[in-house]
Structure 1
Amino acid sequence: MLQRLFGLKRRPDAADGLYAQAVDQARDPAFYGRLGVADRIDSRFDLYVLHVQLLILRLQAEGEAGRDLAQRLFDVFVSALDNDLRELGVGDLSIAKKMRKLSEHVYGRMSAYEAGLIDADESALSEAIARNVAPTGPEAAAILARYAMVTRERLAAQSVDQMITSANWAKIEG
């Protein structure tokens, strides 16, 4: 807010680029066409959370520097959510309440996805995806869970510098 008030610009950060990649990937038409994820704000939000979560988990494996970048990525994500709410017309008086509720949704989704991703439990991840992202049925949820697992493997095989340049995301199969 102070940056806007005083006309200061944030310097570009690797976290900004990673967030932009997550958003671009979450907007892949295959999610909405082939898997039948509803093209609504809430469904897109759930895909953003999943993609940011995949990057955060990968970064956290890099020790302190990775955890720092993961935190900055999360901060960029939260800041983007705040900006989106303001663009949707949420006023200053109610923004804190809305952000608190949205933060609860983010943490809830991340917790639901994290267990399946860390344990490589595709079934548990598929169930979490079916509850939250709600693609067109269990088969689509299973395809999205498989996509997330393959993406996690691909990200793990890359250095952080490679991810920052261009993360290697999986493609939607099926």
Structure 2
Amino acid sequence: MLRWLRQRAETSRKAEELYGNVVAAARQPDFYGALGVPDTPEGRFELVALHLFLALEVLRGKGADAEALARRTIETFVIDMDDCMREMGVGDLTVPKKVKRAAAAFYERASIYRQDLIEDLAQDLAQNLAQAEPGAPRLTKSLRGYVFANSVERGEGAAGLAHYMQAASSALADHAFGEFVNAGMASRLLAAATSKHKVSMT
């Protein structure tokens, strides 16, 4: 019993640390400045969801301990959504419904992003063989819809986010998410994305 409690406590500690890294990655100013992500509760939610997806993908298929950590990290995300909504003044009776919708929105995005990354990677491989310019049309389209409300003017921002996500997904094949954030990999990949895709805010 004591061993189980210790394991649960350790999993909770790791989940809080992992989720803290997710939030830190999502708060990088260039997302909101150079790429034009709306600096609103909705925009910030989208970037947390994006990075939570990337963090949980690292844990997929890694065994029971990783699955337990993934579950606990999602629980931490849900608790954070609950706290944020209460701080924003959402009524007690409404909070559970909004939190449930936020969780459902995350799962919807995770499923779409996973499939988009797979299909865009396959297309990139084919284009490389044909010596054509690689891209991420499916992921860019999904991000433009979710993050930028299908704004045509923010097309470069969506392309930049897709560029960042592809590079991050590749980097995370060899690195833990905490290392990805704390060793500066996330910020370097974001800088590379913004150098190619910068939104004009005029």
**TM interval, short-chain normalised:** 0.7 to 0.9
Greater CA drift, 110-119 or 67-76: 110-119
Figure out how many residues of one structure are paired with residues of the other and give that number.
165
Greater CA drift, 45-54 or 111-120: 111-120
What is aligned with 2:172? Answer: 155
The 1-side partners of 2:183 and 2:76 are apart by 18
What is aligned with 1:54? Answer: 54
What is aligned with 2:78? Answer: 78
Q: Scaled by the length of structure 2, what TM-score is found?
A: 0.72
Q: Scaled by the length of structure 1, what TM-score is found?
A: 0.83
Contact 2:18 2:177 in 1 (8 A): no
DSSP 3-state at the match of 1:133: helix
Change (3 A) 1:85 1:159: closer
For the pair 1:20 / 2:20, whether they are aligned, the reply is yes
What is aligned with 1:142? Answer: 159
Structure 1 residues 84-163: aligned runs within 5 Å = 84-121=84-121, 122-134=136-148, 136-159=153-176, 162=179
Contact 1:117 1:125 in 2 (8 A): yes
Change (3 A) 1:149 1:53: same
DSSP 3-state at the match of 1:35: coil
List gaps (5 residues or longer) in structure 2: 1-8, 122-135, 196-202
CA RMSD of superposed structures (Å):
2.4
* Percent of pairs with identical residues: 32
For the pair 1:171 / 2:185, whether they are aligned, the reply is no
Higher RCO (CA 8 Å, separation ≥ 6 residues): 2
* Deviating 4+ runs (over 3 angstroms): 118-121, 159-168
The 2-side partners of 1:43 and 1:164 are apart by 20
